[in-house]
Amino acid sequence: MEKATTPAGRSPWFWAGNYLVSSAIIVVLKLTDAITAPIAMILFLGAMGLLIPLVRAGERRNCANPVIVRYNRRFLAAAFGYVLGLGIAITLWNNFELSGPVVFAIALLPTIPTFAMIWAMGRYLVEETDEYLRYRTVRAALMSLGMVLAIGIFWGFLEMFELVPHIWAWWVLPVWAIGLGLAQLWMKVRGE
């Protein structure tokens, strides 16, 4: 059993805790109108910097192979791009009278980094040479896809009959990512 803290650095939990506390503080400051949306975005980008040591600590602890390290780098870069793109898009939308192609262009700002996330996941599956790890990831991805389809269809009909509010379609990616995490946790609990 490995120790929680290795001589090489702090535990991933330390960085995860710092990240969550920082994010929570920013959310509270924003909800209480202590800071404006652009300031909140800049602070959140700073807080996201904590994800770098978090990912590195996780890689050290799990002796991650180079493919996983590459995936983490790509995904983190895309996540930074997403927050930055979303922040810029919302700021522009809230402060200017935009229409037509400009709106299309600002919609692309957060969208393109999410395409990069999907590409990073695809590349991981292509580059992973360990067939068991690839099998586990594919299985978790399919389980999560099933969850997204089930929730999406159920929600769609509930929405059609006006029982639940409308939600934006971009929610599919975060819901899928949560499902991926849950599926991996479920496989771990079952000892698979």
Partner 1 sequence: MNNRLKVLRAERSWSQQDLADRLGVSRQSVNAIETGRYDPSLPLAFTIAEVFGLPIEAIFSRD
Q: Residues in the site for partner 1, rule: CB under 8 A?
A: 65, 129-133, 135, 191-192
Q: Smallest gap, in angstroms, from Cβ of residue 135 to partner 1?
A: 7
CB-nearer residue toward partner 1: 2 or 159: 2
Q: Residue 161 carries which DSSP code?
A: T
Q: Residue 117 carries which DSSP code?
A: H
> Which ranges of 49-130 would DSSP assign to H, the alpha helix?
51-61, 66-95, 101-127
- Written as six digits, the tokens of 39 are 């300031």
DSSP 136-177: HHHHHHHHHHHHHHHHHHHHHHHHHTTSS----GGGHHHHHH
Q: Smallest gap, in angstroms, from Cβ of residue 24 to partner 1?
A: 34
Do the Cβ atoms of 80 and 110 come closer than 8 Å?
no
- Written as six digits, the tokens of 82 are 């997403």
Q: Smallest gap, in angstroms, from Cβ of residue 65 to partner 1?
A: 7
CB-nearer residue toward partner 1: 101 or 191: 191
CB-nearer residue toward partner 1: 35 or 59: 59
CB-nearer residue toward partner 1: 53 or 58: 58
Q: Smallest gap, in angstroms, from Cβ of residue 174 to partner 1?
A: 27
Q: Residue 34 carries which DSSP code?
A: S
